[in-house]
């Protein structure tokens, strides 16, 4: 049975693991409904989505309408200005089929200009605060990928929750961000508990996260099997073993510090480069045999040749990765891997 935890000082009580809303975009509506309802059957009562996640809000709203009073619904507004945030918020109410949103978050506030726009006159925060004062929103939070900006936002005292990437390959927040949040009673939500799709061992990922009972992970899922595996880790609890820790360290060593987090903020690329898919190649050559990888990745790798090094992706990337350089590196790895196995790149 999943435990219930307080989400900081937000006043919200949520299950110790939630459900994130990105991958559900890729699933047809009927299957999505079945997956979301399976999450509920397994005891999950916290669901997180966003205005910019395609039809994710609509799918959550449809699947959870009959149990609305039993779940905590969180979503996000992308716009940093008041006018844009107001429009997005009203659409979120409509899509989620609810008159009250439990947690509204300002989405991806990861640089100083964004934070200044959100918090300044005519900024998105004005709209969120007004909605809370009117009782249409229960709590206001923030999502970010930048530790310095996250801490600065926490110190304003305006946000009840923080959503931030956290997993065993991105564990810096426990030193750089979480202490400030805990000091001020800010609830912690872990996005990308599976490394944005880089990590395929749910058991390792969620045993690691169970060390931090006040941090609520929100894995995105696109199949019943995935969520059943994740919840299973909470049903049969045990601490990470020595073998687990050694395996996690091996993965850290393989990935190094420069890897795509698959947030997809670099998209769309005007040249049609499938950036996140290309940047997965180094990881995939360690997990796939040559023939299936050729089928899976060939089109994406071919798109890397269309890069003109305009720099747009670098500017958009919240992790400031040298994307054009990494595209070349991954394409070269793919070519060598195929050639080593007698296949045409």
Q: What was the pLDDT predicted at 287?
A: 57
Q: What was the pLDDT predicted at 286?
A: 67
Domains and CATH numbers, the chain: 4-247 (3.20.20.100), 275-340 (no CATH)
Backbone angles phi, psi at 255, to 5 degrees: -80, -30
In this prediction, the residues of the chain whose per-residue pLDDT falls under 70 are 257, 286-288
Q: What was the pLDDT predicted at 258?
A: 80
Q: Which residues contact 309 (CB under 8 A, 6 or more apart)?
A: 324
Residue 7 tokens read as: 């989400």
Q: What was the pLDDT predicted at 291?
A: 83
Residues 332-343 have pLDDT tens digits of 999 999 999 998
**CA distance to 93, 165, 208, per residue, from 196 (Å):** 27, 9, 16
Residues 245-257 have pLDDT tens digits of 999 999 888 777 6
């Amino acid at each position: 049975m999943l435990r219930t935890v307080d989400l900081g000082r937000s006043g919200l009580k949520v299950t110790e693991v939630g459900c994130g809303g990105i991958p559900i975009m890729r699933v047809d509506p009927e299957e999505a409904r079945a997956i979301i309802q399976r999450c509920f059957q397994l005891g999950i009562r916290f669901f997180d989505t966003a205005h910019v996640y395609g039809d994710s809000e609509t799918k959550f709203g449809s699947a959870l309408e009959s149990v609305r009073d039993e779940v905590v619904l969180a979503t996000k507004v992308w716009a940093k200005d008041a006018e844009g945030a107001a429009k997005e918020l009203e659409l979120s109410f409509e899509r989620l089929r609810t008159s009250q949103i439990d947690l509204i978050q300002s989405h991806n506030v990861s640089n100083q200009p964004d934070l200044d726009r959100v918090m300044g006159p005519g900024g998105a925060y004005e709209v969120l605060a007004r909605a809370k004062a009117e009782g249409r929103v229960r709590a206001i939070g923030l999502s970010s990928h930048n530790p310095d900006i996250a801490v600065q936002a926490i110190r304003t005292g305006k946000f009840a929750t923080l959503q931030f990437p956290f997993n065993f390959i991105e564990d810096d927040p426990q030193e750089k961000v979480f202490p400030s949040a805990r000091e001020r009673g800010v609830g912690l939500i872990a996005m990308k508990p599976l490394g944005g799709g880089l990590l395929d061992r749910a058991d390792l990922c969620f045993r690691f996260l169970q060390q931090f009972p006040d941090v609520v992970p929100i894995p995105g899922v696109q199949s019943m099997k995935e969520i059943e595996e994740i919840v299973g880790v909470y049903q049969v609890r045990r601490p990470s073993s020595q073998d687990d820790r050694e395996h996690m360290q091996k993965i850290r060593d393989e990935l190094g510090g420069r890897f795509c987090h698959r947030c997809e903020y670099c998209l769309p690329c005007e040249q049609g480069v499938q950036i996140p898919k290309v940047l997965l190649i180094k990881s995939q050559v360690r997990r796939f045999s040559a023939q299936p990888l050729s089928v899976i990745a060939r089109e994406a790798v071919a798109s890397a040749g269309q890069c003109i090094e305009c720099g747009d992706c670098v500017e958009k990337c919240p992790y400031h990765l040298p994307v054009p350089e990494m595209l070349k590196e991954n394409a070269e790895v793919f070519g060598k891997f195929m050639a080593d196995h007698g296949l045409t790149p």
